[in-house]
Amino acid sequence: MEYTQEALQTFKEAIVPYKDRPDGLLPVVHIAQEQFRCVPVAAQKVIAEVMNVSVARVSGIVTFYDYFTMTPLGNHVIEVCVGTSCYMQESKHLLAVASEVLQVAPGETRADGEVSLRIGRCFGRCEHSPNVEIDHTMHLHVSEQELRQYLNNLEDHS
Ligand code: FES
């Protein structure tokens, strides 16, 4: 995918405030993923330039964390946690339900670009398992029925 100079410039301006922060690298990679729905090589180069690190270092972060992707995510992102606590509460079943309702395999983005179904590792809310995040909104202690309702509402409004 091509990214316009304008989009890359907007991104650059957004991350400049982080350039002198020793802990700034991870937040700017997050900003890239928010803006581009992934962390493309073009954005990695901008990050490397602004943060004064090598592209290889940025790339290392992008490939190390499951959360980051170099393939654009869908307009809606559904993430089902399959960390230990959620797994013990049948979250694998929720993942299968989401896959069936959304017609997309876990870990994939549907061909029409509308939805991505991601596999979460732990949202840090284990006491409320099983948990599902839908477009940055955390849903706690989710039942199959609730999940179907959330996903059907999503499909109705897309
Ligand atoms: S294992 Fe799911 S939130 Fe921790």
**Beta-strand pair 76-81/132-134:** antiparallel
Measured between alpha carbons, how far is 29 from 36 in angstroms, rounded to an integer? 11
Q: What's the predicted TM-score (pTM) here?
A: 0.84
More confident residue, 67 or 32: 32
Candidates 95, 126, 132, 140: which one to mutate for ligand 1, based on the most atoms within 8 Å of Cβ? Answer: 126
Which H or E run includes 115?
strand 115-120
Judge contact between 127 and 86, C-beta under 8 A. Answer: no
Q: pLDDT digits over 129-143, tens only?
A: 999 999 999 999 999
> Counting atoms of ligand 1 from 1, which one is nearest the CA of 122?
4
Number of neighbours of residue 137 by Cβ within 10 angstroms: 8
pLDDT at 37 over 80: yes
Round the average pLDDT of the chain to a whole number and report it: 95
Residue 124 confidence (pLDDT): 95
Q: Scan for tokens 């901008």, then name that residue.
A: 46
What is the Å distance from ligand 1's center to 122 Cα? 4
Residue 157 confidence (pLDDT): 64
What is the Å distance from ligand 1's center to 138 Cα? 11
pLDDT at 1 over 70: no
Residue 11 confidence (pLDDT): 97
pLDDT at 26 over 90: yes
Domain boundaries, the chain: 5-64, 76-156
Q: pLDDT digits over 83-123, tens only?
A: 999 999 999 999 999 999 999 999 999 999 999 999 999 99
Residue 66 confidence (pLDDT): 86
Residue 67 confidence (pLDDT): 87
What is the Å distance from ligand 1's center to 142 Cα? 12
Candidates 131, 140, 142: which one to mutate for ligand 1, based on the most atoms within 8 Å of Cβ? Answer: 131
**What is the domain class of 76-156 according to CATH?**
alpha beta
Residue 158 confidence (pLDDT): 62
Candidates 123, 127, 142: which one to mutate for ligand 1, based on the most atoms within 8 Å of Cβ? Answer: 123
Contacts of 59 (CB under 8 A, 6+ apart): 41, 44
What is the Å distance from ligand 1's center to 126 Cα? 4
> Counting atoms of ligand 1 from 1, which one is nearest the CA of 128?
3
